[in-house]
Amino acid sequence: MASSWALLAAVLLTTHAVAAVSGTRAAADATRLPSSEPGFREAPAFRNGDGCPPRGAGERVHIAMTLDANYLRGTVAAVFSILQHTACPEDVSFHFLAARRRDADAVRATFPYLDPSVYIFDPARVSGRISRSVRHALDQPLNYARIYLADTLPRAVRRVIYLDSDVVVVDDVRKLWSVDLDAGGGHVVAAPEYCHTNFTKYFTDAFWSDPRLSATFRQGPHRRRRPCYFNTGVMVIDVARWRAGGYSRRVEEWMAVQKEEKRIYSLGSLPPFLLVLAGEIMPVDHRWNQHGLGGDNAEGRCRSLHPGPISLLHWSGKGKPWLRLDTRKPCTVDYLWEPYDLYKAAAATAIEE
């Protein structure tokens, strides 16, 4: 637990330091949104530091996220953390896949200096392919929207960082962006990889007992694929290679096996990604996905931080920090998320206390 409090202090110090370098402007007014929608304080305007290229001359960092009413508070916190910790925030472009346009309006009101691209995701595109998982939240169509990023983004976007809505970034996101996807012959996806995880638990006995299906991970003289777990909440994707390789269709094919033949997994959109890409991604330092902070998918019990440096905190699992803070039953790690919470009601509660 001591390491968690130490990280909290470091996060707060870094926040103030980056704000000073980027020339942030404190916002005085809260956003005014319809009473039926969550209201967020307006974020400060983040400007490029002195070491950044002239505006329009530097490489743009493209970040894609989903916008869901149930996770909107998390998305706002994630965007705030990204802008706060990068030295060149004006060179970051955000792409949002939304279920409804009003959620995008809330983000625009909170970050009026951004010019995000918003794409309305049609749930009918995937709803007929979804099978029941261990948690209802994992069955929502937007949870599968990442499969279709390459079909959604403009052709000019050749690389994108996909992030879940329950993360905060405490390092310069340009470091993650700069991963070399061309190394080793070229990769479609880069992400932190975990080869010591018990990989068998992500699939059912029906999968492993079927020689035809389990052969996808079988190694042989002409197959060097080593199945390793990776979390799909943090991925760097070569969009052009994804399109060229037909990866959306390949993921859909495994979803069809699950839906139409036999139940081969229980964890929503993650297993079909693993079936297509596990063992073939470009590994990224583990500091870029300190995942599992939301506990398991059933109970969501508190978890401690893993040892080592941290660049991104991820509340994957059932427990979300905003819900635990609101019910006054937070885990220690939830206090690391709290400085990025722009929700007005949360700020009013803090003042009252």
Query: What pLDDT is stored for residue 21 in this prediction?
Result: 38
Quote the tokens at residue 278: 């596990």
Yes or no: say if 281 and 190 are a contact pair by the CB < 8 Å rule. yes
Structure tokens at 330: 């937070």
What is the average pLDDT across 287-305? 93
Residue 24's pLDDT is: 37
Residue 249 belongs to a domain? yes
How confident is the model over 231-241, as a mean pLDDT? 97
> Predicted confidence band at 26 (pLDDT cuts at 50, 70, 90)?
very low
Evaluate whether residue 26 is within a structural domain: no
| CA nearest neighbour of 131 among 221, 254, 5 | 254
335 within domain boundaries? no
Q: Does residue 138 sit within a domain?
A: yes
How far apart CA 277 and CA 227 sit, in angstroms, is 9
What is the number of structural domains in the chain?
A: 1
Asked if the structure places residue 339 within a domain, the reply is: no
Looking from the CA of 132 toward its CB, the CA atoms found within 13 Å total 0
Q: Which of residues 88 and 27 earns the better pLDDT score?
A: 88
- Token readout for 102 is 């009003």
Q: Is the model more confident about 2 or about 134?
A: 134
pLDDT at 218: 77
Range of the domain at 108: 61-285
Q: Is the dihedral of CA 179, 185, 188, 194 positive or negative?
A: negative
Helix (H, G, I), strand (E, B) or coil at 95: strand
> Mean pLDDT lowest for which of 28-37, 103-112, 168-177, 333-342?
28-37
- In three-state secondary structure terms, 242 is helix
**How far apart, in whole angstroms, are the C-alpha atoms of residue 290 and residue 311?**
8
- The answer, as to whether pTM is greater than 0.75, is yes
What percentage of the chain reaches a pLDDT higher than 70? 85
Higher-pLDDT residue of 350, 321: 321
Using pLDDT thresholds of 50, 70 and 90, give the confidence band for residue 350: low
pLDDT greater than 70 at residue 32: no
At 152, the amino acid letter reads T
Q: Which domain CATH number covers 188?
A: 3.90.550.10
Which amino acid does the sequence have at 216? T
Q: Is the pLDDT of residue 15 over 70?
A: no
For 60-82, how does the pLDDT look when each residue is reduced to its tens digit (9 = 90+)?
Answer: 999 999 999 999 999 999 999 99
Give one DSSP letter per residue of 220-233, joined into a string. BTTB-----EE-TT
pLDDT at 134 over 80: no
Task: Please report which confidence band the pLDDT of residue 33 belongs to, taking 50, 70 and 90 as the band edges.
Answer: very low
35 part of a folded domain = no
The per-residue pLDDT for 156 is 94
Within a domain: residue 127?
Answer: yes
In a domain, 104, yes or no: yes
Does residue 232 register a pLDDT over 50? Answer: yes
For the residues 164-182, what does the mean pLDDT come to? 97
181 exposed, middle or buried (CB, 10 Å; 0-12, 13-18, 19+)?
middle
Q: Give the pLDDT confidence score for residue 110 in this predicted structure.
A: 96
DSSP 137: G
CB 5 within 8 A of CB 332: yes
User: Which has more confidence, 27 or 308?
Assistant: 308
Contact indicator for 68, 332 with CB cutoff of 8 Å: no
> What pLDDT score was predicted for residue 27?
33
Confidence check: pLDDT of 179 > 90? yes
Give the whole-number percent of the chain exceeding pLDDT 90. Answer: 69
Alpha helices in the chain (DSSP H): 2-22, 72-85, 101-110, 149-152, 173-177, 205-208, 211-214, 239-244, 247-256, 270-277, 321-326, 334-337, 344-352
Q: Average pLDDT in the 6-20 region? A: 45
Q: How confident is the model at residue 348 (pLDDT cuts 50, 70, 90)?
A: low
